[in-house]
Structure 1
Amino acid sequence: MKEMMTKKNIVNAIFIALFLVILFVPSAKAFLIQGLMEIGLFKPKTEPIAAETPSADLSGIKFEDKSGKVVDLGALKGKVIFINFWATWCPPCLAEMPSINKLYEQYKDDKDVVFIMVDADSDLVKSQKYMDARSYKMPVYSVASNIPETLFKGTLPTTIVFDKQGRLSYNESGAANYASSKFIEFIEQLKSLKI
Structure 2
Amino acid sequence: MNFKAVTIFSIMMAITLSVLACSNGNGKVNDSAKSEVATSETPAAPVVENEPTNDGISFLDEQKKAVALNDLKGKVVFINFWATWCPPCVREMPSINNLKKHYKNNKDLVFLMVDVDGNYDVSKKFMEKNNLDLPLYMPNGEIPSRFLGNSIPTTVILDKTGKMVARIEGGRDYMAPEIISSMDDLLEK
TM bucket normalised to smaller:
0.7 to 0.9
| Deviation of 1:45 (Å) | 2.0
What's the C-alpha RMSD, in Å, of the aligned pairs?
3.0
**Larger helix percent:** 1
Which of 92, 95, 100 in structure 2 is aligned with 1:99? 95
CA contact (8 A) 2:74 2:108 kept: yes
Identity %: 36
Q: Report the 3-state secondary structure (helix = DSSP H, G, I; strand = E; otherwise coil) of the residue aligned with 1:152.
A: coil
| Corresponding residue number in structure 1 for 2:76 | 80
CA contact (8 A) 2:76 2:159 kept: yes
| Deviation of 1:164 (Å) | 0.7
| Corresponding residue number in structure 2 for 1:160 | 156
Map of 1:1-195 to 2, 5 A cutoff?
23=15, 37=37, 40=39, 43=42, 45-46=44-45, 56-193=52-189
- Residues 1:104 and 1:19: Cα distance change in structure 2 (over 3 Å): farther
**Would you identify which runs of 4 or more consecutive aligned residues in structure 1 move more than 6 Å?**
none
| CA distances 1:40-81 after superposition (whole Å, capped 9, x unpaired) | 37736246x69xx55642232110012222211000001000
CA contact (8 A) 2:116 2:139 kept: yes
Unaligned runs of 5+ in 2: 22-32
- Residues 1:18 and 1:125: Cα distance change in structure 2 (over 3 Å): same
Larger radius of gyration: 1
When the two structures are superposed, what TM-score results if normalisation uses the length of structure 2?
0.77
What letter corresponds to residue 23 of structure 1 in structure 2? Answer: I
State the distance in 1 between where 2:139 and 2:43 align.
Answer: 24
Unaligned runs of 5+ in 1: 1-8
Paired residues, number: 171
State the distance in 1 between where 2:180 and 2:13 align.
Answer: 34
| Corresponding residue number in structure 1 for 2:27 | none
State the distance in 1 between where 2:188 and 2:40 align.
Answer: 28
